[in-house]
Amino acid sequence: MFSILENCMLVPNVHMMTVYAPDVAKSALPGQFAIFRPEEEGERIPLTLADWNAEEGTITVVYLNVGRSTAKLASLKAEQSLPTVVGPLGNPLEIERFGAVLCVGGCYGIGSIYPIARALKEAGNTVISVLEARSSFLLYWQEKLNAVSDRLVYLTRDGTRGKRGHIGSLAEIIRTLPMRIERVILNGCNYLMMRGSQETLPLKIKTIVTLNTLMIDGTGMCGVCRVTVNSQTKFACVDGPHFDGHQVDWAEVTQRRKAYLQEEIIPLRTTRPQ
Ligand code: FES
């Protein structure tokens, strides 16, 4: 069993959980994920590691309360425990000295982009972090990201913080920067990663996305996380989760992500007050 040290809502619907999982913490690398299961018979939820502390043996994830299983996860309190935390899984993100790198995070991706920005900064890159949200009250971890970034850019749909716009404004933001961006890393929902990749394609900037497909085993055996990248079949858990955003078959990713949407939503309709 894995003890929960903290489980709180950061901003509406976006939660943060810190768990004692020393074996995961001691070998975690930026861009890897862990599979969480909130109850013995429950769904296995892959969540990108948003932070970890090898000395204290803790890992932290940021997740969206979006369906039955994540609602169950969000309902757990500190000092309760989880039956399953498996990780670290997936390949770490390639971290090198690229030059200037744009790290874009939206929703739960603001959390998962943090260790990536930190590692890129430590590797000597100029890091520009872009935080995207519908409104300023949905932003979080600004101080943490500011500490590992050379510049922080806010992008809100209602214009309450930073530039007014959405991920479709990414090319415009890049054009206004005083340096050549060598690489873009996109973390967040599929739409953010797909739309962001469309923005960087005409600019010819290498763009890496972290796919958040459905998963069961997370070790390449079940095939649930199948994606098509550059016309080749890949498994997000063992071949990824990081792929070239310009080569991902986004229509397929979107379609497969929705496979159990009704099963996720129907129990919430019957258990939550209308
Ligand atoms: Fe089963 Fe990837 S989760 S193959």
- Mutating to test ligand 1, I would choose from 33, 235, 253 the residue with most ligand atoms within 8 A of its C-beta, which is 235
pLDDT for res 265: 67
145 with 236, same domain?
yes
- Measure the CA–CA gap between 40 and 218, rounded to whole angstroms: 17
Helices (DSSP H) in 93-154: which residue ranges? 109-122, 142-147
Count of all residues that appear for the chain in the document? 274
* Overall average pLDDT of the 144-158 stretch: 97
pLDDT for res 199: 97
Instruction: State the CATH number of the domain containing residue 142.
Output: 3.40.50.80
What are the E-state strand segments in the chain? 2-11, 14-20, 33-37, 45-53, 58-64, 81-82, 84-89, 100-106, 126-133, 151-156, 163-164, 183-187, 206-210, 226-229, 232-235, 242-244
69 with 205, same domain?
no
For residue 16, the CA-to-ligand 1 centroid distance in Å is 24
126 with 9, same domain?
no
Determine the straight-line distance between the first and last CA of the chain, rounded to whole angstroms.
34
Q: Is residue 8 part of a domain?
A: yes
User: How far does CA 72 lie from the centroid of its chain?
Assistant: 20
Closest approach atom of ligand 1 to CA 222:
1
Closest approach atom of ligand 1 to CA 46:
3
Residue that is last in its domain, among 89, 113, 129: 89
Q: Is residue 274 part of a domain?
A: no
Residue that is last in its domain, among 89, 122, 142: 89
Closest approach atom of ligand 1 to CA 216:
3
Q: Could you give the number of structural domains in the chain?
A: 2
- Measure the CA–CA gap between 78 and 100, rounded to whole angstroms: 39
Q: How far is CA 234 from CA 207, 208, 211, 221, 246, in A?
A: 18, 15, 11, 12, 15
For residue 236, the CA-to-ligand 1 centroid distance in Å is 7
User: How do the residues of the chain divide into helix, strand and coil, expressed in percent and rounded to 5?
Assistant: 30, 35, 35
Q: Is residue 25 part of a domain?
A: yes
Q: Is residue 30 part of a domain?
A: yes
The answer to whether residue 67 scores a pLDDT higher than 70 is yes
143 with 251, same domain?
yes
pLDDT for res 27: 96
- Measure the CA–CA gap between 167 and 180, rounded to whole angstroms: 19
The answer to whether residue 274 scores a pLDDT higher than 50 is no
- Mutating to test ligand 1, I would choose from 225, 233, 243 the residue with most ligand atoms within 8 A of its C-beta, which is 225
The answer to whether residue 117 scores a pLDDT higher than 80 is yes
81 with 105, same domain?
no
Tens-place pLDDT, residues 152-201: 999 999 999 999 999 999 999 999 999 999 999 999 999 999 999 999 99
The answer to whether residue 35 scores a pLDDT higher than 50 is yes
Q: Is residue 194 part of a domain?
A: yes
| Residue bearing the CA closest to ligand 1, atom 4 | 220
141 with 213, same domain?
yes
Q: Is residue 263 part of a domain?
A: no
The answer to whether residue 217 scores a pLDDT higher than 50 is yes
Closest approach atom of ligand 1 to CA 218:
3
In this prediction, residue 273 has a pLDDT band, given cuts at 50, 70 and 90, of very low
- Measure the CA–CA gap between 108 and 216, rounded to whole angstroms: 20
149 with 236, same domain?
yes
Which residue in the block uniquely carries the two structure tokens 């590692």? Answer: 119
For residue 225, the CA-to-ligand 1 centroid distance in Å is 5
217 with 196, same domain?
yes
Q: Is residue 264 part of a domain?
A: no
76 with 15, same domain?
yes
Angle between helices 68-75 and 261-271 (to 10 degrees): 50
Instruction: State the CATH number of the domain containing residue 61.
Output: 2.40.30.10
* Overall average pLDDT of the 130-140 stretch: 97
* Overall average pLDDT of the 228-248 stretch: 97
Residue that is last in its domain, among 89, 119, 138: 89
Mean per-residue pLDDT of the chain: 94
49 with 177, same domain?
no
User: How far does CA 99 lie from the centroid of its chain?
Assistant: 23
131 with 206, same domain?
yes
**Could you tell me if 103 and 130 are in contact, meaning their C-beta atoms sit under 8 angstroms apart?**
yes
**Could you tell me if 260 and 214 are in contact, meaning their C-beta atoms sit under 8 angstroms apart?**
yes
Domain ranges, residue 37: 2-89
For residue 258, the CA-to-ligand 1 centroid distance in Å is 16
pLDDT for res 250: 96
| Residue bearing the CA closest to ligand 1, atom 1 | 222
Q: Is residue 269 part of a domain?
A: no
Q: Percent of the chain at pLDDT above 70?
A: 95
125 with 74, same domain?
no
**Could you tell me if 149 and 103 are in contact, meaning their C-beta atoms sit under 8 angstroms apart?**
yes
Nearest-5° Cα angle at 50, 56 to 250:
155
